[in-house]
Structures are given as C-alpha cells and as structure tokens.
Amino acid sequence: MRQAYRRILRYVPRYRGALLAGAACVVASRLLMVYAPRLLGRAVNELADGGAAAVTAAVRTGWQFLAVSAAAGVFTYFMRLLLVGASRRAARDLQRDLFAHVQKLPARFFDRTRSGDLLARLTSDIEAVRFSLGPGLMYVASTLVLFPAAVVSMLDLSGPLTFAALLPLIAIIALVRALGPSIMRRSRAVQDRMGDLSARAQESFAGARVVRAYAKEPVEIAAFERENAGLVRETLGLARTRAWLTSGLHVLGGGAEIVVLWYGGEQVIAGEVDLGYLATFMLYVGMLVWPMISVGWVVSSFQRSAAAMERIDEIFDQPPERLTLAEPAEAPTPVRGSLRVAGLTFRHAGATDDALTNVTLEVPAGTTLGLVGPVGAGKSTLLSLLTREYEPPAASIFLDEHDVTRIPLPALRAAFALVPQDAFLFSTSILENLAQAIQAPLEPEHAQAMLAVAGLERDVESLPRGLETVVGERGLQLSGGQKQRVTIARALLRDAPILVLDDCLSAVDTETEARILARLGAELARHTSIVVAHRLSTVRNADRIVVLERGVVTESGTHDDLLAAGGWYARTHAQQRLAEAWGDLA
C-alpha cells in the first residue's frame, strides 16, 4: 500500500503552506474539543455543591464551555477548508499529469486500451484517491491529536476508569486488521468493473449507428445490464464487508460507554470520582467512539484509494514515446524531404505475421510516390512507420539519409503533413480544425485557398456558418467525402516538406477526384508526396508507383511500366476501366 502512494506523495510539497496551516487548525480545534468536557464536568460539580453561589459559578463555567466549543468550531471550519481544498488541488494536478502522460503514449498503447476504461481511471479512480487523501487524511490527523489529548486528560481524572474505557480499542484494532485485506481486494474489483461499464457504454455510444443499423439495441442493453450486474455484485460485496466493519465498531463503541457508566457509577458511589467528572468521561468516550469508527472507515477508504492508485499507476508506468530510439540524436536541417526505405521488415505487436517484409523503396525529394495494393497489404502500416507512430527497426527508414530512429520525434513529425485513412475531425468549427495543423494563427484567406485546392469551397459556402460551422459530435455532420477533404486541406495548410495522403479520396466520386487532383497537382509537385489509393486513377501521374501485396513490394515503376508488366496493377487497372465503362453505360 505504501508503494501505491509513492506517486501521490510527490504532490504534497507544493501545498505545504495549506497543509501546515490546516494541521495547525487540526491541533487547535482538537485541543479545544478535549478541553470543553472538563468545563462541563466542572459546571456539574459546581451545581452539585448546591446553593445560590453555585448556580452563578456554574453559569459562568457554562459560558466558558460555550466559548471554547465555538472556537473549536471555527478552527474545524478552517481545517476542512484548507485540507479538503489542498486535496482537490492535488487531485487536479494528478489528473492533469495523467492526461499529459496519456498524450505522450505510443500508438500501440491506444491499440489495446479501451478509452472508456481510461476515462474511468481519469475520473472515478482519481476521485477515490482524492477522497482518501483529503477527508481521509484529515480524520487521521484529527484522531492522532484528539486521541492522546483525551487520554491524557482522562488519566488526569482517573487511571482505572481510563483503562476500562480503552479496553474495547484492542478489539477494534483486531477487527480492522481482519477485514482490511478483503476491503482492499473488493475495492479493486469495484473500480475494475466501473472501468468495464464505462468502456462498454462508451463503445456503444460511439457505434450508435452500427447498433441501430443492425437492430442490436437489445443486445447492447443486455450487455450493459451484464456489466452493470457485475458492478452491483462487487459493490454489494464491498458494502457487506464495510458494513461488518462499521457495525462491529459501533457495537464496540457502545460497549465502551456501558463499561464507563457501570464502573464509573460505582466509583462515584464509592466517592472515588466526582459526579461531574463521570459526565466528562462519558463525553470523552462519545468523543473517542467516532474517531475509532472513523479509523475503520478511513482504513477502508485508504484501501479503496490504494486500489484506485494502482490502476492510475498502471497508466503512469506505461513508457512514453521515446524522442529517439537510437543514439546519437541527429536531425536533418533543413529537411529536403527525400525518403529511403531499406529492407524494412515489421510485425505489429501481438500479430503472428509480418505486416511488411523486406520492403525497399525510394522517394527522391520533390517527387510523388503512388502506393497501391490490395486491402491489408501493409500500406497504412508503412506510412505509420515513416513518422514512427509505430517504432521501425533501426537503419530501415531514412529521411534525407538520416536514420529516422535517430531523429528526435518533434523534428521528424514536423517534416510530415499526414492525412490519415480515417478522416477524424474534432467537434469544433472547421476553421479550428484546420488551425490544428499549424502553430501560427490561421488566416481565413489562406484557409479558403487550401479548401479550394481540396475541392471543398462550394461545400463550405453552403454551410450555415461557413468556416465557423461546428462539425462533429456537437455540430453539423459532414459527409464522408466532405470530411476527407477537410482533412486534406488541414494537411496542405501545414505545408510540411513531405505530404502523405492515405486513401483520402476514397469517398469522393470520380469527377470530384479528377477536379481535386488537377488542383492538387501543383501542391504535390511542391512537396515530396506519397499517395495511397485504391482507385488507380488517383496515382496515375505519380513519378513512381509501388505495388504492395501482403507486405511485399511486387511491382514498381511508372504507370506505363506497370501496365506493360502485366501484374496486379495491370489487372486491377483493366478491371477498374471495365467497371467505369459499365458505370457510364448504366
């Protein structure tokens, strides 16, 4: 458990001020709380003396009791404010660091992580940690002051009675030790189930259209219900164990009161203890029962948060992307944009086959490479290795003759403008989506120009608010082809030396494609470009075309070379021509 808190302890020093002031409030308020019952006892004793003077004295003591209690209340208020406030701010820091860490994780982490589970760790697990560290630690500190102070005060009044009142404490420690491990285990299970549940819901919402299209609502509801039932089962198990703990503690606390009343009553009758101080004792026992109960509660909340911290640590323990894979670091400046792939073999983590086998190709600076081949041939994989989204083996890919594994990531990625195969837009305005590509503020005219190149100017004009139109989850839904073209404009705006287009005209018709390609030509010529396509007309004018089949380069040359070669390219070309001819006839 101590191991689990290693990370969170790092956030303590920066809130030193608030924590120290809070701790001072703990000490002041608890000492005043311990002093108050003595005043009450004195008032009872003064009354027991009888007479008119007795009432005056008792009332004066009563006022003192009130003043001390009020002061204890004020300190308690500031204690909560300072300590709970510090815990909220520390949780915010933890949340921020966790989020920042996730941003730095490599693509393969996201391949095997459900975003819903990640969300649960970022929210409910962090809240569990915060709760134990804020209110939890506050109760611990409070008990640490209150308990010894009360015991000292009790010993001052009567040794034997103190001993009798504290006996049940031993039983309490035994109880907490017996139930603690089970609470810890069940807490971890609850947090895990919570992650499963939100992952399930998140995926179902993200796939809402598929769910509807295949009428899978009942299946989704049933699956959610199953996860939910799992969560309830674990939560009830945890509640049962915690209930055993709290009720056990209540019984032991009540037992302590009875022991004091019985044994203390006899002492009063025997004249060993003043009646007033028996009242003081009863107040102390009442006062100590709560910390004893809260110890159990706090222990269980610490166990719960240690489990949560473990889940948070699992993310923190993921190694971030490395700036360079091989030393020494070197970066080409300025980047001219020539690419060379030499004998590249690559297998995805967990895959049984190589996605790429001994791939060798060259893209001289300023030229355009067309990359084609059947689905699953490894085209996107090859592209992702260029920018080290996945880590390629050393000395297999060179940018301007520098091994990419030696180029620091920011410099490497700055050399590329990438249009990924899945056209993803953030749920914000088109303008802001475009601005994501560049560091400087975006000029609307510049944006318009690139949208024109991407063949989207007419579409944007017809949108309700033009470039300011919000798209995605919170706004207007663009068509697949429109989305693709926004992502093309975004990449063009970046104006990086190398332009990479992964099958990004797949959702536009042949005519629109021809129009876009005509304008894109100039842009492609200004950059080193790699264009992946299924429709061969897209890459027809490329300086060189490479055919990738099952991870192997099988053909390479110009359009005319490949037609003459009579391989996959020529066959596919003939098929696509035929299909087009049929389309024209129809």
Ligand X SMILES: Nc1ncnc2c1ncn2[C@@H]1O[C@H](COP(=O)(O)OP(=O)(O)OP(=O)(O)O)[C@@H](O)[C@H]1O
Residue located via tokens 């009020």: 70
| Residue 396 found at the interface with Mg ion (CB under 5 A) | no
Query: For residues 78 and 84, what is the distance between their CA atoms, to the nearest angstrom?
Result: 10
Strand order in the sheet with 544-549: 416-419, 498-502, 528-532, 368-372, 544-549, 552-557
Q: Which of 154, 189, 377, 539 is the binder for ligand X (CB under 6 A)? A: 377
Secondary structure percentages of the chain, helix, strand, coil, to 5:
70, 10, 25
319 Rama class: left (phi>0) / alpha (psi -120 to 50) / beta? beta
Q: DSSP states of 158-209 as a string?
A: -HHHHHHHHHHHHHHHHHHHHHHHHHHHHHHHHHHHHHHHHHHHHHHHHTHH
Q: How far apart are CA 103 and CA 295, in angstroms?
A: 38
Q: List the one residue from 143, 381, 405, 572 that touches ligand X (CB under 6 A).
A: 381
User: Which secondary structure element, helix H or strand E, spans residue 31, and what is its range?
Assistant: helix 16-49
Nearest CA to 89 out of 178, 8, 191, 202 is that of: 8
Our finding on whether 379 is near ligand X (CB under 6 A) is yes
Interface with ligand X by CB under 6 A: which range of 45-53, 220-228, 372-380, 512-520?
372-380
461 binds ligand X (CB under 6 A): no
**Partner that binds at residue 443, options ligand X, Mg ion, none, CB closer than 5 to 8 Å by kind:** none
- Nearer to ligand X by Cβ, of 298 and 377: the residue is 377
351 binds, among Mg ion, ligand X, none (CB under 5 to 8 A by kind): ligand X
- Binding region for ligand X (CB under 6 A) out of 90-98, 249-257, 376-384, 393-401: 376-384
Residue 361 CB, nearest distance to Mg ion (Å)? 17
Of 486-505, binders to ligand X (CB under 6 A) are 503
381 binds Mg ion (CB under 5 A): no
Answer yes or no: are the C-beta atoms of 128 and 308 closer than 8 Å. yes
3-state secondary structure of 63: helix
Instruction: Find all residues with CB under 8 Å of 27, minimum gap 6, and list them.
Output: 145
Cβ contact 502:418 at 8 Å:
yes
Residue from 376, 444, 521, 566 binding ligand X (CB under 6 A) = 376
191 sits near Mg ion (criterion: CB under 5 A): no
Q: Write out the binding residues for Mg ion, residues 399-458 only, by CB under 5 A.
A: 421
Tell me if 337 sits within 8 A of 122, measured CB to CB. no
Q: Which of 191, 380, 433, 484 touches Mg ion by CB under 5 A?
A: 380
Binding-site size, ligand X (CB under 6 A): 14
Count residues binding Mg ion (CB under 5 A): 2
Stretch that binds Mg ion, among 378-386, 387-395, 443-451, 513-521 (CB under 5 A): 378-386
Q: Work out whether strand 498-502 and strand 416-419 pair parallel, antiparallel, or are unpaired.
A: parallel
- Residue 152 or 351: the one with the smaller Cβ distance to ligand X is 351
In this complex, which beta carbon is closest to Mg ion, that of residue 303 or of residue 421? 421
Instruction: Quote the tokens at residue 220.
Output: 């989704």
Site string for ligand X, 241-280 (x = CB under 6 A): ----------------------------------------
For residue 52, the partner it binds in ligand X, Mg ion, none, with Cβ less than 5 to 8 A by kind, is none
Q: Is 378 in the site for ligand X (CB under 6 A)?
A: yes
Residues that bind ligand X in the complex, under the rule CB under 6 A:
111, 348, 351, 355, 373, 375-381, 421, 503
Residues that bind Mg ion in the complex, under the rule CB under 5 A:
380, 421
